[in-house]
Amino acid sequence: MNAPVHHQTLITPAHPKALASGQFKVTARDVDVYYGEKQAIKKLSIDIPDRAVSAFIGPSGCGKSTFLRCINRMNDTIPTCKVTGLIDVDKRDIYDPNIDVVQLRAKVGMVFQKPNPFPKSIFENVAYGPRIHGLAAGKTELDEIVEKSLRKAGLWEEAKDRLAQPGTGLSGGQQQRLCIARAIAVNPEVILMDEPCSALDPIATAKIEELIDELRQNYCIVIVTHSMQQAARVSQLTAFFHLGTLVEYGDTNEMFTAPQEKRTQDYITGRFG
């Protein structure tokens, strides 16, 4: 198996703002993932920096979503799924039996392809997490968290007069921002996004992308996307997956102008899928 290409240019000080903060938030070493007999990910190693957007691209079935879901142990819910190797978040092994998975998922939040607000009010959608995690001391504090989260998600102005109305009554793009507000409300450090715009129109997509760009000041964001243009627009780093392996990982600017691997080139230029 070919080792993935990691662009050396990443390390130079001239380049990445991505690495300005210095440390890696998520580190994976030799990760294998199986669904029953089928191996979905083979010997994957990657370092994901903090305060930057990393985009995972690749054809369907390449393992990018599978790996994304390993980062907050969402795959635990699939009985046949087996994960081996090492995945660290903040240098702590997240597959350590002693780790509290609920805490982990608060720290590593997730936004899905289809907006999935709870069938409750807008307020409750955001307040639910902080309440069960005991993050708010009282009503006022909870109100503050809800407002702050909705503001960060760029939804406050649109939602402040209808907080008691059901979240499902919002438009698709608003619902997706509500889900982002819900993820932010529990003070995550990593936000995983699995094709967050694939069900949205271009305007709603632009709003989410603008939001992602703002959020990266404070979070480590990993986004899976089928849109090459979106990866090029929102991310500082791009990882190309193919057949369960990480083929190439590096500076987005370089990946979309001069990728080093032929498979990357063929995929992003639309020569195979």
Nearer to another protein, 23 or 269 (CB): 269
Nearer to another protein, 55 or 184 (CB): 55
84 binds another protein (CB under 8 A): no
Structure token digits, residue 93: 């092994």
CA–centroid distance for 237 within its chain: 13
Choose among 19, 61, 44: nearest CA to 247. 44
How do 81-89 and 24-35 pair as beta strands?
Answer: antiparallel
165 binds another protein (CB under 8 A): no
232 binds another protein (CB under 8 A): yes
256 binds another protein (CB under 8 A): yes
- Both ends of the chain: CA-CA distance in Å? 20
Distance CA 1, CA 245 (A): 9
Which of 115, 244, 250, 259 binds another protein (CB under 8 A)? It is: 259
Write down the residue that tokens 């990266």 correspond to. 216
Structural contact between residues 27 and 88, judged by C-beta atoms closer than 8 angstroms: yes
Neighbouring residues of 156: CB distance < 8 A, sequence distance ≥ 6: 147, 150
Write down the residue that tokens 């635990």 correspond to. 76
Query: Which stretch in 96-104, 164-172, 213-221, 251-259 sits in contact with another protein by CB under 8 A?
Result: 251-259
266 binds another protein (CB under 8 A): yes
Q: Which of residues 191-230 bind another protein (CB under 8 A)?
A: 228-229
Q: How far is the CB of 259 from another protein (least distance, A)?
A: 6
Distance CA 236, CA 46 (A): 15
Cα Rg of the chain (Å, integer): 19
Nearer to another protein, 77 or 272 (CB): 272
Nearer to another protein, 47 or 248 (CB): 248
Q: How many chain residues are in contact with another protein, going by CB under 8 A? A: 16
Q: How far is the CB of 257 from another protein (least distance, A)?
A: 6
Q: Which of residues 112-151 bind another protein (CB under 8 A)?
A: none
Residues of this chain that interact with another protein (CB under 8 A) are 228-229, 232, 256-259, 264-266, 268-273
